[in-house]
Chain A
Amino acid sequence: MAQEHKQPRRSTSDNASEEAVASTDAAGRKEQLDDDVDAILDEIDSVLESNAEEFVKSFVQKGGQ
């Protein structure tokens, strides 16, 4: 039936998984970004609230839906 070959390719084998990953640029993008992960953490460090414990403790909400 026509639908057979249009079925989503479940990655039942390692090959299929690798192909699926290779077919996107996300993996390559991730590698590149891992290189500057330190720069990212520095950036995040610079905006994090200073007293983590106190800040988190003071975030108290009333219930919602």
Chain B
Amino acid sequence: MSVARRSVQGMSVRRVMGAETEFGISVLGHPGANPMTASSRLVNAYANATRGTRQARWDFEEESPLRDARGFDLTRGQAHPSQLTDEDFGLVNMILTNGARFYVDHAHPEYSGPECLSPFAVALWDKAGEQVLLDASRLASVGGEPEIALYKNNTDNKGVSYGSHENYLMARQTPFADIVRHLIPFFVSRQVICGAGRVGLGVDGRGQGFQISQRADFFEVEVGLETTLKRPIINTRDEPHADASLWRRLHVIIGDANLGEVPTMMKFGTTAMVLSMIEAGEISHDLTLRTPVAALREISHDPTLSTAVELRDGRRLTALQIQWDYLEMARRYAERRPGDDAAETATVLDRWESLLARLEADPMTCSAEVDWVAKLSLLNSYRDRDGLDWDSPKLALIDLQFADLRPDKGLHHRLVKLGRIEQLFTQEQVDQAVLTPPEDTRAYFRGRCLAKFPAQVAAASWDSVIFDIPGQRSLQRIPTTDPVRGTKAHVGDLLERCQSAQQLVAAITGSPPTSR
């Protein structure tokens, strides 16, 4: 266990983690179009264009979305229908050769990126997801079908929100109470770095103004299992997709969908670092907030970053001051525990420090690196030039169109083209990540099996690949329970060597295939 534990758990910005995003969808010129149909059209179009005859289905055997990290299961009778994500409602599910899952979740197309170990890798494969969605929308629009526009945002500004979730594998032995206590102040304050910005206040956006976070107004409780109603700052869904006696999955629902590569990387890097500190018992400061849900909103509603929120001990701190506290603890921790990945950790911590210092001095100096600042900077330019108030439809349009995935229409994309947004990756790297998986997790095995033996993979999931071998009556399920096995180092040669899925399954199971 010790070897796997070290590499999975990490002592730094690295650990097993991944991003999943539900995209806003609209059929242009058909505002009443059914979003499930449109989403299915996307996934089907992509599947037809990229895959041969066989379409591997999702394997639901290990899914248990009603398991709660606090140690009890919700029965199906108590669950809201929207919580039952493990039932395939006849909608399409696709597993990609990069290890990701592309499917229809509720009324949105969703891309769940492959398991990664580095925050840079998460950001790269998340960008690859945008490319997949964009390609799918283009493929779905050929042949006279109406064009589908996709938005990487989190609200329609009419009362509805949809998520961009983060997943982090954590040591089961870490008391959940410690996670709750030390993560809430971090989650409430990290929006200053990874908020995506929003025009409008309140769930329906009717309040006038700009706020830092897309999601802040949709959170009602501190801790809970729900993701669609009474959204909690700490979500307790606990399907580790790994050995549940060793691991839990921390399912984070509070984040905004980021268009910038830097904020995605920083969101995962800083959160992974704080989780490592929690696991190691290294959070020495008690930053418990008196009213976290209210604090989340107050911070979001003040883009000047001067709002101070009250701690339980009576102190009042700004979001930046809270973030400085976490950074100071992270610096001390990193210094005491240098690891193989010290350079990557230092990169994240240096950027963290630089961003906090500049956000404190003048947030607008961060417009190339922070999504909400990039958006606010553009909005302010329009306000200055055209004398617009916050209730102007034009500003609402800029907010919406900022997230449009189409390169010619999306304002984030236009700013990238104009050189105003810092990028971490080249288009070539993104294109490569659309096709190939990360090499240092089990996503490698899943993705490479699909690429090499598309006709023989009957189904797959995070923790299995199921083969349908010609001549064999039963399906062969290869469990991939350990997220850091099935890497290139582990199975790269084997996959290279095997000329058929039959050979591969025989080599893995250690017995010659038998026909029954």
Interface set of A (CB-CB < 8 Å, partner B): 2-3, 6-11, 16-18, 20-21, 23-24, 26-27, 29-30, 33, 37-38, 40-41, 43-44, 47-49, 52-53, 55-56, 58-65
Cβ A24 vs Cβ B365 within 8 A: yes
Considering the complex, give the chain B residue whose CB is closest to the CB of A34.
Answer: B381
Q: Is the CB of A61 within 8 A of B35?
A: yes
Interface residues of B (CB under 8 A from A): 22, 24-26, 31, 35, 82, 105-108, 151, 155-158, 160-163, 165, 227-228, 253, 324, 327-328, 331-332, 335-336, 353-354, 356-358, 360-362, 364-369, 378, 381-382, 385, 393-394, 396-398, 400-401, 408-409, 411, 414-415, 418, 420
Q: Which residues of B contact A63 (CB under 8 A)?
A: 82, 106-107, 160-162, 228
Query: Complex: how many Å from CA A56 to CA B400?
Result: 7
CB distance from B78 to the nearest CB of A (A): 18
Bound-complex Cα distance A40 to B394 (A) = 16
Query: How many Å from the CB of B502 to the closest CB on chain A?
Result: 39
- A7-B418 contact given A52-B393, A61-B24, A65-B227, CB 8 Å threshold: no
Contact A65 B367 (CB under 8 A): no
- Residues in B with CB closer than 8 Å to A37 are 381
* Selected contact of B358 from candidates A24, A38, A43, CB within 8 Å: A24
The A contact surface, by secondary structure, is helix
Are the C-beta atoms of B24 and A26 separated by less than 8 Å?
Answer: no
B356 smallest CB distance to A (angstroms): 7
**Chain A residues with CB under 8 A of B382:** 41
Q: Could you say which residues of chain A place their CB within 8 Å of the CB of B411?
A: 44, 47
Contact of A21 among B108, B331, B332, B358 (CB under 8 A): B358
Nearest opposing residue in chain B for A29, CB measure: B368
Question: Which of chain A's residues have a CB closer than 8 A to the CB of B158?
Answer: 60-61
Shortest Cβ gap from A7 to chain B (Å) = 6
Choose from B160, B331, B369, B400 the contact partner of A7 (Cβ within 8 Å): B331
Distance from B480 Cβ to chain A, minimum over Cβ atoms (Å) = 25
12 more A-B residue pairs beyond the given contacts A3-B332, A24-B365, with a C-beta to C-beta distance below 8 A = A18-B361, A24-B358, A30-B364, A33-B420, A37-B381, A38-B385, A47-B401, A47-B408, A52-B394, A63-B107, A64-B161, A65-B22
CB proximity of B290 to chain A, nearest CB, Å: 23
CB of B163 within 8 A of CB of A40, answer: no
Question: Closest residue to B36 on the A side, CB-wise?
Answer: A62
